[in-house]
Structure 1
Amino acid sequence: MKPSEEIVQLVDQDNQEIGVISRQLMREQRLTHRACYILVFNSAGELFIQKRTQSKDIYPGYWDVAAGGVVLAGESYEESAERELAEELGVSGGQLAFLFDQYYEDENNRVWGRVFRCVHEGSFVLQKEEVESGLFLSPAAALQLSQQEPFTPDGIVLLQKILL
């Protein structure tokens, strides 16, 4: 199934489920949906950032501070996080720790996100359709890099929260 054909969970401003729709229509209509974000740290406290492929439906070619993605219909945030971590980075069986929920909105995106963290030293098996490359940086260095290169704006918001 192509990503555009995935059926995703729609929610209202209060994060209450209101229906399901194809990912393509959700993007076209800029509807509020759910997503999971997994911050992957190594034991030195460095964060794994990943470069999104040019084929991504939103923020193509941007750096992202989190693995993760859209929550599918009938899926919990936790199930989505485990699935996305395995798909994007080849990581399974890790301990996901809940950090916080956040709402983010810009001209392209309206999303209720649940943010998790885990520790993994690598190596990673990157999903070629979604992840071009990746590297470990300190969170502060990642934030500094975002001043020179494009980063997903929702990711920068959550990075700023963890640096406070």
Structure 2
Amino acid sequence: MSATDEIIDVVDEDDRVIGRAPRGEAYARGLIHRCAFILVRDAEDRIFVHRRTPTKLVYPSLYDMFVGGVVGAGESYDEAALREAEEELGVSGLPRPEPLFRFLHDSEGVAGKWWSAVYEVRCTLPVRPQTEEVAWHTFLSEEELTHRLGDWEWVPDGRAAYERLLTYRATGGPGL
């Protein structure tokens, strides 16, 4: 099955499930759906950064500081966060990602809106990123990542999530 045929939950503005649709249809019709974003840190506290493959349905070939993806039909955010992190990093036995916050992202016509659940996890395992998802990767310190924010073209939803994460940390938690 292709990614466009994957069945996902369609939700409303309050993140309540109101139906299901193939991912491609949800994108084309601008239906609200769910995604999980996982910030991955290594043993040295560096952040996993990657460039998406050119075959991605949304934001191909752009840089991202999160791994993750669309939450499947009937799947919880927590289940999707662990599944997506392990798949994209090419690992198994990852600790359960810690949920931080959620926000509604508007792609401004690219693929509708999606509820974005942001997580964080530490990965001390050797990574073997999924070649279908990750064209290039490295681990960067927060300082290096901050420097690259102005140099590289980043996925808009990941950048929005990262900016909210910085605010979340600065304010000590929710209130986004």
Could you state the TM-score of these two structures normalised by the residue count of structure 1?
Answer: 0.93
When structure 1 is superposed on structure 2, of 84-93 and 17-26 the one drifting more is: 84-93
Shift of 1:159: 1.2
Partner of 1:102: 103
Partner of 2:91: 91
Could you say what secondary structure the match of 1:39 adopts?
Answer: strand
Give yes or no for contact 1:10–1:18 (8 Å, CA) kept in 2.
yes
Pairs within 5 Å for 1:111-130: 111-130=114-133
Give yes or no for contact 1:140–1:163 (8 Å, CA) kept in 2.
no
Q: Read off the aligned partner of 1:51 and give its amino acid letter.
A: R
- For residues 142 and 114 of structure 2, the distance between their equivalents in structure 1, rounded to whole angstroms, comes to 23
Shift of 1:71: 0.5
Partner of 2:155: 152
The answer to whether structure 1 residue 12 and structure 2 residue 24 are counterparts is no
- For residues 40 and 132 of structure 2, the distance between their equivalents in structure 1, rounded to whole angstroms, comes to 20
> Residues 85-119 of structure 1, C-alpha deviation per residue, up to 9 Å, x if partnerless?
12111123222111111111121241101111111
> Residues 37-91 of structure 1, C-alpha deviation per residue, up to 9 Å, x if partnerless?
1110013221101110000000000011111000010111111112111211112
Give yes or no for contact 1:38–1:67 (8 Å, CA) kept in 2.
yes
User: Could you list the runs of 5+ residues in structure 2 that have no partner in the other structure?
Assistant: 168-176
Could you state the TM-score of these two structures normalised by the residue count of structure 2?
Answer: 0.87
Shift of 1:10: 0.8
Measured on the aligned residues, the alpha-carbon RMSD in Å equals: 1.4
Pairs within 5 Å for 1:13-162: 13-95=13-95, 96-107=97-108, 108=110, 109-162=112-165
Shift of 1:9: 1.0
Shift of 1:6: 0.3
Aligned length: 164
- For residues 150 and 122 of structure 1, the distance between their equivalents in structure 2, rounded to whole angstroms, comes to 28
- For residues 40 and 55 of structure 1, the distance between their equivalents in structure 2, rounded to whole angstroms, comes to 23
User: Could you list the runs of 5+ residues in structure 1 that have no partner in the other structure?
Assistant: none
Q: Read off the aligned partner of 2:6 and give its amino acid letter.
A: E
